[in-house]
């Protein structure tokens, strides 16, 4: 059983759905509760006003007329998409309708034909009157249709109902034609899409870990490079020489300093422009720093 929304909760639900809401006069306490119960709530009913003009339509739905006192609904949906609240509580909008339709709304199942008028709908339904002449020619602007969708969805969301809790007056009471100009099945499809859970966004791939900064072997000194010296530094140096096109290895490079390493380094020195004794294949600090041997 759904307890009727308080005025504040109704207002919040509509605004949270993105609607422009106008509070008309003393709508928060304006109702027909002295004429019968209001609640438990089971659904939302959509009507058309058979009038034109926002101000006059809102006044009519607030005041009613000599044969049907107001409020005539809970909210009036104007052609510009604004929702004007005119009542909170029992309102004269639904009238007598089909108990089979009510059971279907409660069960959120397919609606049967409305062929009886034996159940008080004012007790169980929120009502929205939509400004339209109802002649099949008066247009339904996109903003108004979107507002109908949003208003119905807002109440369904507040109560945890599905789109099947929304009906038109023509589906409730025999002889009624409202709303005329669109089908309720089409509107329910829109409401269903609005109520559908948002698809989760694909999780962003974790940012790749930053690569550690490249550091280079400091120059170990010329004395380091002698026959028989074994070190990973010698292998790393040889790989850099090969990468620079200076490798003179038949097999290498390897960890043991050899004449192939010396010949390769001499080729590197000559590539840098050294000549004579300065290109003897024994690393010096200047040529070593330019070779950029990575740390082992």
> Are residue 189 and residue 227 in the same domain, yes or no?
no
81-108: per-residue pLDDT in tens?
A: 999 999 999 999 999 999 999 999 999 9
| Summary mean pLDDT of the chain | 95
Residue 1 has pLDDT above 70, yes or no: no
Question: Based on the domain organization, do 52 and 177 belong to the same domain?
Answer: yes
SS3 letters across the chain: CECCCCHHHHHHHHHHCCCCEEECCCHHHCCCHHHCCCCCECEEEEEECCCCCHHHHHHHHHHEECCEECCCCCEEECCCCCEEECCCCCCCCCCEECHHHHHHHHHCCCCCCCCCCCEEHHHCEEEEEECCCCCCCCCCCHHHHHHHHHHHHHHHHHHCCCHHHEEEHHHCCCCCCCCCCCCHHHHHHHHHHHHCCCCCCCCCCCCCCCCCCCCECCCCCHHHCCCCCECHHHHHHHHHHHHCCCCCCCCCCCCECCHHHHHHHHHHHHHCCCCHHHHCCCCCHHHHHHHCCECC
Percent over 90 (pLDDT), the chain: 91
When mean pLDDT is compared across 99-113, 157-171, 240-254, the lowest value belongs to 240-254
Is 205 part of a structural domain of the chain?
no
Residue corresponding to tokens 């309102």: 91
279, part of any domain: yes
254 lies in the same domain as 126: no
Distance CA 172, CA 53 (A): 26
Question: Does residue 156 surpass a pLDDT of 70?
Answer: yes
Rounded distance between C-alpha atoms, residue 254 and residue 153, angstroms: 75
pLDDT at 214: 86
CA distances from 279 to 106, 254, 267 (A): 95, 22, 8
Q: Is residue 217 part of a domain?
A: no
Q: What are phi and psi of 6, to 5 degrees?
A: -70, 165
Handedness of CA 78, 82, 83, 85 (dihedral sign): negative
The average pLDDT across 105-117 equals 96
Residue 47 counted as domain residue = yes
Give the model confidence (pLDDT) of 174-227 as tens digits.
999 999 999 999 999 999 999 998 777 777 788 888 888 889 999 999 999 988
The percentage of the chain sitting over the pLDDT mark of 70, rounded to a whole number, equals 100
Domain annotation covers residue 200:
no
- Look up the CATH number of the domain holding residue 161: 3.40.80.10
pLDDT of amino acid 147: 98
CA separation (Å) from 129 to 39, 44, 229, 290? Answer: 19, 11, 96, 83
Mean pLDDT for 217-246 is: 92
Confidence bin at 252 (pLDDT 50/70/90)? confident
**195, 212, 242: which is the final residue of a domain?**
195
Residue 270 above 90 pLDDT? yes
Residue 216 belongs to some domain of the structure:
no
Token digits of residue 28 = 């928060």
Q: How far is CA 230 from the centre of its chain?
A: 63
- Nearest C-alpha neighbor of 137 from the set 179, 181, 170, 177: 181
Do residues 178 and 32 share a domain? yes
- Domain identity same for 191 and 248: no
Q: Looking at the structure, do residues 235 and 189 belong to the same domain, yes or no?
A: no
The confidence band for 228, taking pLDDT boundaries of 50, 70 and 90, is confident
Residue 255 has pLDDT above 80, yes or no: yes
What pLDDT, on a 0 to 100 scale, did the predictor assign at position 136? Answer: 93
For the stretch 29-84, pLDDT in tens is: 999 999 999 999 999 999 999 999 999 999 999 999 999 999 999 999 999 999 99
Q: Are residues 120 and 258 in the same domain?
A: no
Segments forming the whole domain that contains residue 147: 7-195
Same structural domain for residues 15 and 73?
Answer: yes
The residue out of 143, 177, 195 marking a domain boundary is: 195
Reported as a pLDDT band with limits 50, 70 and 90, residue 161 is very high
Q: Domain total for the chain? A: 2
């Amino acid at each position: 059983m759904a307890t009727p929304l308080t005025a504040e909760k109704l207002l919040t639900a509509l605004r949270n759905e993105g609607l422009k809401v106008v509070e008309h006069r003393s709508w928060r306490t304006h109702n027909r509760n002295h004429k019968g119960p209001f609640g438990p709530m089971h659904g939302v009913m959509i009507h058309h006003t058979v009038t034109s003009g926002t101000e006059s339509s809102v006044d009519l739905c607030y005041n009613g007329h000599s044969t049907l006192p107001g409020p005539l609904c809970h909210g009036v949906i104007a052609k510009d998409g604004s929702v004007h609240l005119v009542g909170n509580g029992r309102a004269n909008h639904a009238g007598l309708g089909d108990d089979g339709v009510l059971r279907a709304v409660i069960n959120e199942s397919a609606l049967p034909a409305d062929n009886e008028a034996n159940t008080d709908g004012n007790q169980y339904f929120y009502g929205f009157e939509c400004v339209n002449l109802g002649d099949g020619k008066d247009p339904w602007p996109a903003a108004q249709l979107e507002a109908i969708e949003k208003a119905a969805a807002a109440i369904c969301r507040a109560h945890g109902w599905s789109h099947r809790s929304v009906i038109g007056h023509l589906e409730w009471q025999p002889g009624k034609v409202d709303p005329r100009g669109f089908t309720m099945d089409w509107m329910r499809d829109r409401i269903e899409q609005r109520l559908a859970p948002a698809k989760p966004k694909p999780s962003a791939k974790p940012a790749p870990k930053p690569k550690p900064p490249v550091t280079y072997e400091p120059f170990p000194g010329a004395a380091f490079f002698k026959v028989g010296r074994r070190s990973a530094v010698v292998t790393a140096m040889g790989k850099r020489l090969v990468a620079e096109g200076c490798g003179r290895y038949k097999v290498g490079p390897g960890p043991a300093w050899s004449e192939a390493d010396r010949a390769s380094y001499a080729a590197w020195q000559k590539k840098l422009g050294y000549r004579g004794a300065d290109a003897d294949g024994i690393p010096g600090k200047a040529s070593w720093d330019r070779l950029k041997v990575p740390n082992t």
